[in-house]
Amino acid sequence: GALGGLGLAVGLWRRQAGLAAAREDEEEKELRQRFMAPPVSGLRELRRRRRELRSRMELLIMETQAEVCRALTALDPGASFAVDSWERKEGGGGISCVLQDGEVFEKAGVNVSVVSGLLSEEAARQMRSRGKSLKAKDGKLPFCAMGVSSVIHPKNPHVPTMHFNYRYFEIEEADGTKQWWFGGGTDLTPTYLNEEDAVHFHKTLKEACDKHDPKLYPKYKKWCDDYFYIKHRGERRGIGGIFFDDMDSPSKEEVFQFVKSCAKAVVPCYIPIVKKHRHDSFTPEEKLWQQLRRGRYVEFNLVYDRGTKFGLLTPGSRIESILMSLPLTARWEYMHTPLESSKEAEILEVLRNPKDWVH
């Protein structure tokens, strides 16, 4: 009788194990369909460590990449994303999704990267200059960084350029303690000012922030205006949004939930604006002004942007992915000055003196 009972128990265990394996396969298939490519860390590894924040963040950035790519493709059905998975020999890798020369989007890139290894001295110096006390062991600082980053350059000058980036960073110090922080933001760069769009964009981001703390939106809106400042031009890159960095309180879980809300706000804050203007008519003069504004975008990204600088200073980083943020076309004209009280002068006024869009 005991043997029969044992046989039954083994049979039951086998059936349960079989069901669990089938469930895992089903889950894996579903995840594969949900993402643009298999995750850098591998689905099995992510599932094994699914309670760890690193794994949850990787799943969030993969989901965000897929959501944004699908939303853009739906607006530009003739175009498709080239999906490029790459590996970094120093550790980790990424997935670059780039759409070029569509009907609606001239260039749109949505990148995910999950990298680890040792921080270069140059990158560590840049972090220390931001007030991080990093204690290296024999000059070595193990790190892990992951994020999703996107820049979307539409063809029509009445559709704004949009950028977002959400990232997580972890550093292990000499004594084994880990420093961690999140950073990110979403911002809009219109060629021409449309107040209704500006209000919609900022309100959507404010709602995402307000779920967590009403003090966050005004703080991160100001940070965004200050960060995207082209000093040598005396103007902002665009009409802002939110931007934050080195965020490590109140707790890892609370900051992660805040970042998740911000990432989920990307599609609703931008896609309705694209839908509204993608068929607007425009003149050659308006196209020219867009090209000149794109030039300013390039100036900011190459001279001031911290993410670009960090990427260029990280050994083994993928230059194509870092410079994906640059437009396909741009223009620099000598001494170009728009006419007073023109629509071109109107946007310049807002870039020089940021506005409060939500009150």
Give me the active site residues, please: 163
Residue 153, phi-psi category: left (phi > 0), alpha (psi -120 to 50), beta (remainder): beta
Q: Which residues contact 53 (CB under 8 A, 6 or more apart)?
A: 168, 252, 253, 256
CB atoms within 10 A of CB 48: 12
Residue that is written with structure tokens 């005991």 in the block: 2
Q: Say how far apart CA 168 and CA 179 lie, in whole Å.
A: 11
DSSP 8-state assignment for residue 231: T
Q: Are 147 and 61 in contact (CB under 8 A)?
A: yes
Q: Say how far apart CA 117 and CA 140 lie, in whole Å.
A: 10
Enter the tokens of residue 93: 């890798």
Q: Which residues contact 270 (CB under 8 A, 6 or more apart)?
A: 152, 162, 186, 188, 201
Q: Say how far apart CA 94 and CA 146 lie, in whole Å.
A: 9
Q: Say how far apart CA 177 and CA 175 lie, in whole Å.
A: 6
Question: Residue 169, CB half-sphere, CA atoms under 13 Å: how many?
Answer: 20
Strand-strand pairing, 161-172 and 142-154: antiparallel
Q: Which helix (H) or strand (E) holds 221?
A: helix 216-227
Q: Say how far apart CA 332 and CA 294 lie, in whole Å.
A: 9
